[in-house]
Structure 1
Amino acid sequence: MNPYVLMILISSLGLGTTLTFASSHWLLAWMGLEVNTLAILPLMAQQHHPRAVEATTKYFLTQATAAAMILFAATTNAWATGEWDINNLTHPLASSLTIMALALKVGLAPMHFWMPEVLQGLGLTTGLILSTWQKLAPFALIIQMAPNTNPMLFTTLGLLSTLIGGWGGLNQTQLRKILAYSSIAHMGWMIIILQYAPQLTLIALGVYILMASAAFLSLKMASATKMSTLTAAWSKSPILASTTALALLSLGGFPPLAGFLPKWMVLQELTKQDLPATATIMALAALLSLYFYLRLCYAMTLTIYPNTTNASTPWRTYTTQSTLALALMMTLALGLLPLAPSVMALFA
């Protein structure tokens, strides 16, 4: 892609998210979401592959449906209350419809069906943008609407997302689909605690972005898109295979890695709110996710690619890709747990 076109598209992504962050009027927030969607579509279709075009079309139709629902809900609220303010979405029908539309935008269950298929048709870099940056603007609106929304709706969405995200990734062999179900499960952890402690939602979102960035960049460095490809990772680069396995375990919430931090805090807050059954279900759903991460780690570190030669592996070559972003994200994704008190003080 032309560097100038790429710069314009990336700038438009930032503009759309910033516009949604800064707006208190529903039309401006809706406009920011639409700029975000339109900016990522050329990035998704740049491979000129039928699968990429199919994924782009599915994503566009899904996001257009969600945008229409948001506009309809905002109009309904304006008709009922006479206000376009985001914080004053007091009409029950409008608030519930808007939350469902935003859940469709970020891929929360049961509106998650588009996400694995779309992510499977994209490159790892575009998939990283879709899994991280594209969730910021809808989550900003969900956080603003949380005080005026039925708490049972958040609990239902959170439990369904963690269960389906864990269950759906069990029988997958495509890495991008596994990361898509991982994203659905992590969204559930963020949304279920939003009504009780919004700062924990921000912590969970920030840590997830770091972990997902480390995982996507690692797989891009290893040129791996299927589980069978991971079996050659140790022969190519033992250090990269080791750090990628640790990043995947961090995504699963394995202590003492950084991914354990948000899960620990969320379970602690749920028990404080006298919700032991909900906390138990969330913890068991986390074990489902941890299982398919362990499958990937087993394929990377304990499996050797079939090899008939006795010579040293001939394909171990030096990469020309930049490793600065990967090193930074990997360090943060693995070592944030000791900074837990500082992180909590920052968001308190």
Structure 2
Amino acid sequence: MTPSLLLFSSSVMMGTLVSMSSSNWLYLWMGMELNLLSFIPIMAHSHKLQETMGSIKYFMIQAIGSGLMLTAGVVSMNPHATSNQNITSCMFIMSMCLKLGTAPYHQWLPHVMASLPWSTCLLLATWQKISPLVMLMFITPSKMMYMVLITAALSAIVGGTGGLNQSQMRALMAYSSIGHMGWMLAALSLSNKMSIIYFSVYVLITSSLMVMFMKTNTMMSQMSNSVIPSKIVLFYLIILMFLSLGGLPPFLGFIPKWLVIFMLTEENMVGVLIMLITGSVINLFYYFTMMFNFMLTPQQNLLTQMPPLWPAVLTSAVTVAPVLTLL
């Protein structure tokens, strides 16, 4: 790691910590701006055209979100604007959802992630979501949680349907992140602890999966036969991580989803629950599609090493997965 990347990475972490520990609107805004202005050079450090364009898109969207957040904070502190509290709360929730990339403010996220390397995608999908989530937890009024639930349901559906037409892995992971953000927002409207648990499991699975993708790209650049056995092990681990990310029982990703389903059932939020489960089932569908593509692509040397049992196992899993998820 170069000294400049180390400096900007430290500033990104410091900006997030400042936002999480502040009790003043100005300090919240300063922390998020420090995080943004430090993350832009990390995105564009290789000087490639697509990464530069992605960093410009990300800067514009985040600047709009910060402006909305600061405007909502200034208006809420005006003693003569008590009748407009609902409007300021809506502005604040919109700004945080824009920064998180949830539906219906999600259009920028697949384009930006598709233009970045896996290491930067990892930061964008995990660390950059901490500050907006924490601010939604502690600032959103309880009477505005219905807006958060609507956003959660839309994100789950968009995250599922948007990934069906994607052939690029990074864009597909972006839609997967949108779908999981729907589950996180649904958990946030019920319990902050439940949202933290879901986010922690999501970060663990997504980080492991993206690190494996980075490792796979490195190994694919080597053509010696000595790395083929390790490729097979890595391939199997990627399959397991996809199943866990989709929430298929009995993998790790199913546990927080099961807890969210239980809590929504207790609160009789059946409509939101049905939309969340529908989006999760669609996510599972294109996860299995990706795994079939991995196994059936003739250019991959892994196919010659695959046991013949795997296609039958995955075919049966595709049939059983929606039923198990609904249970």
Tell me the TM-score range normalised by the shorter chain.
0.7 to 0.9
The alignment status of 1:274 with 2:274, answered yes or no, reads: no
User: Which of 165, 183, 187 lines up with 1:189 in the alignment?
Assistant: 183
Q: Please report how far the alpha carbon of residue 272 of structure 1 lies from its aligned counterpart in structure 2 after TM superposition.
A: 0.3
CA contact (8 A) 2:33 2:66 kept: yes
Superposed, 1:48-197 pairs within 5 Å as 48-80=47-79, 91-197=85-191
Q: Which residue of 2 aligns with 1:33?
A: 32
CA contact (8 A) 2:68 2:92 kept: yes
Letter in 1 for 2:98: L
Letter in 2 for 1:75: V
| Secondary structure, counterpart of 1:254 in structure 2 | coil
Superposed, 1:186-225 pairs within 5 Å as 186-223=180-217
With over 3 angstroms needed to count, the CA separation of the structure-2 counterparts of 1:292 and 1:199, relative to structure 1, is same
* RMSD across aligned positions (CA): 2.3
Letter in 2 for 1:280: I
Q: Which residue of 1 aligns with 2:283?
A: 289
Aligned length: 295
Superposed, 1:258-269 pairs within 5 Å as 258-269=252-263
CA distance in 2, matches of 1:135, 1:306: 36
Letter in 2 for 1:278: V
With over 3 angstroms needed to count, the CA separation of the structure-2 counterparts of 1:149 and 1:15, relative to structure 1, is farther
The alignment status of 1:251 with 2:245, answered yes or no, reads: yes
CA distance in 1, matches of 2:67, 2:135: 16
| Secondary structure, counterpart of 1:247 in structure 2 | helix
| Secondary structure, counterpart of 1:24 in structure 2 | coil
With over 3 angstroms needed to count, the CA separation of the structure-2 counterparts of 1:47 and 1:150, relative to structure 1, is same
Question: Runs of 4 or more off by more than 4 Å in structure 1?
Answer: 233-236
Superposed, 1:301-320 pairs within 5 Å as 302-306=295-299
CA distance in 2, matches of 1:56, 1:127: 12
Q: Please report how far the alpha carbon of residue 306 of structure 1 lies from its aligned counterpart in structure 2 after TM superposition.
A: 4.0
Structure having the higher helix fraction is: 2
TM-score under structure 1 length normalisation: 0.80
With over 3 angstroms needed to count, the CA separation of the structure-2 counterparts of 1:274 and 1:124, relative to structure 1, is same
| Secondary structure, counterpart of 2:170 in structure 1 | helix
CA distance in 2, matches of 1:198, 1:184: 19
CA distance in 1, matches of 2:285, 2:300: 28
| Secondary structure, counterpart of 1:122 in structure 2 | coil
Structure 2 stretches lacking a partner, 5+ long: 219-226, 306-327
| Secondary structure, counterpart of 2:176 in structure 1 | helix
CA contact (8 A) 1:95 1:148 kept: no
Q: Please report how far the alpha carbon of residue 48 of structure 1 lies from its aligned counterpart in structure 2 after TM superposition.
A: 1.2
Q: Which residue of 2 aligns with 1:16?
A: 15
Letter in 1 for 2:7: I
Structure 1 stretches lacking a partner, 5+ long: 84-89, 225-232, 313-348
Letter in 1 for 2:298: Y
CA distance in 1, matches of 2:63, 2:196: 26
Q: Please report how far the alpha carbon of residue 296 of structure 1 lies from its aligned counterpart in structure 2 after TM superposition.
A: 1.5
With over 3 angstroms needed to count, the CA separation of the structure-2 counterparts of 1:163 and 1:283, relative to structure 1, is same
Percent of paired sites with the same residue: 32
Q: Please report how far the alpha carbon of residue 235 of structure 1 lies from its aligned counterpart in structure 2 after TM superposition.
A: 7.6
- Cα shift readout 1:110-151 (whole Å, capped 9, x = no counterpart): 000000000011010001001100000111100012344512
CA contact (8 A) 2:18 2:27 kept: yes
- Cα shift readout 1:30-57 (whole Å, capped 9, x = no counterpart): 1111111111101100121111111000
With over 3 angstroms needed to count, the CA separation of the structure-2 counterparts of 1:307 and 1:279, relative to structure 1, is closer
Letter in 2 for 1:265: L
TM-score under structure 2 length normalisation: 0.85
CA contact (8 A) 1:147 1:195 kept: no
With over 3 angstroms needed to count, the CA separation of the structure-2 counterparts of 1:234 and 1:104, relative to structure 1, is farther
CA distance in 1, matches of 2:78, 2:195: 31
With over 3 angstroms needed to count, the CA separation of the structure-2 counterparts of 1:307 and 1:48, relative to structure 1, is closer
